[in-house]
Amino acid sequence: MIEISVLVAVVGGALLYLGHCSWLRLRGARGNCCGSCPLGRPKIGLAARPGWPFSGKKVKAPAVFLLAGAFGLCTGAAQLTTKQRAGAERTAPLTVPTPAELFSAIDKAGKPDWMSFYRAPVPTTYPTRPRTALNLGALITDGYVAVEAQDGQQVKNTGKDIIALAGALGVGEDVLVRGKSIADFANQNDWFALREELEATTNDIRRAMIAQRDEALASLITAGAWLRALEVGSRAAELSGEEKSAGLLRQAELVGWLREELQVLPEKSRSDASVIQTDLALASLEQTMQGMEPAEFGEKRVLAVKEITTQFIAAMAAKEP
């Protein structure tokens, strides 16, 4: 009787949770996930701390684990393996902030000239899939830069390149509709909707990568996006000289999580040259960011972040000889 009562309670809670997630999805603007359910933004183990204005949303354990536990009570089966438990432990209590959130905070601190952070057009074909994924992430961040600049044409140009690189990874069909929406919102100068659509595009690509068992590429897309975001942020902080802008670059926990994502990849993925270079860049950033509060993040550290990220982004985007 006790086991049956526990089963009913757990299953009931799981169903309520799933219903809540469904309602949140329906409520989300223009089909974008609100981030409150397990299918929202990728989750990381960042602790909320001073200096970062967006500490993320609390995320409860996925209902699938509740259901698995309930059936385990009755049957003694459906026990999580060691690998599954490790994955569950790495499911974060907070969500990954997006480059758009970092840029919004930088804009409030110093109002930079966002157009000055544009890059020359980058290739849309690369020799390896990991390198393609890194450049796709960087391009998504370029889209956020164009949105901050309120440059509709640049947003559309970047959107086309994003679709092209997604196609090279075999997930172009998954984001074609998003590409049209990006162009439509750019024509309407709907900057808020564009931020949402870029985030939704990222989520769609990541989900498609994971569905085809390319978790390594999903991790590299996130790493590429944030390395480019830190490059832009460091240049903005350098030009403005604002302490608040400099302090926003101190993202040691985020960088540490990005490294952890690479370290749990299969050995074959970790041995790829692009993945090795990514880990080295993140390790250098982590060392630069550790041991201080955001308010103590001075000019020397800002320039170090700029040098590390600029060299990495340029190397990944360079055309093959």
Burial of 2 per CB tally in 10 Å (0-12, 13-18, 19+): exposed
Whether the CB-CB separation of 24 and 36 falls below 8 Å is answered with: yes
For residue range 37-61, what is the model confidence (pLDDT) as tens digits? Answer: 333 343 433 333 333 433 333 333 3
Bridge partners for 204 per DSSP: none
Give the C-alpha separation, 74 to 70, whole Å.
Answer: 7
**Pick from 187, 101, 183, 184: which is nearest to 148 by CA?**
101
Give the C-alpha separation, 7 to 196, whole Å.
Answer: 39
Give the C-alpha separation, 115 to 119, whole Å.
Answer: 9
For residue range 216-231, what is the model confidence (pLDDT) as tens digits? Answer: 898 999 999 999 999 9
Whether the CB-CB separation of 42 and 137 falls below 8 Å is answered with: no
The ranges assigned to domains in the chain are 2-90, 98-317
Average pLDDT, the chain: 76
Whether the CB-CB separation of 139 and 162 falls below 8 Å is answered with: yes
Burial of 293 per CB tally in 10 Å (0-12, 13-18, 19+): exposed
pLDDT at 265: 87
* Mean pLDDT of the 4-20 span: 53
Q: To the nearest whole percent, how much of the chain has pLDDT over 70?
A: 69
Report the helix count and the strand count for the chain, using DSSP H and E.
14, 2
For residue range 189-211, what is the model confidence (pLDDT) as tens digits? Answer: 999 999 999 998 888 898 888 88
Which residue in the block uniquely carries the two structure tokens 């400099």?
246
* Mean pLDDT of the 28-45 span: 39
Give the C-alpha separation, 266 to 65, whole Å.
Answer: 24
For residue range 257-302, what is the model confidence (pLDDT) as tens digits? Answer: 999 999 888 888 889 999 999 999 999 999 999 876 666 788 899 9
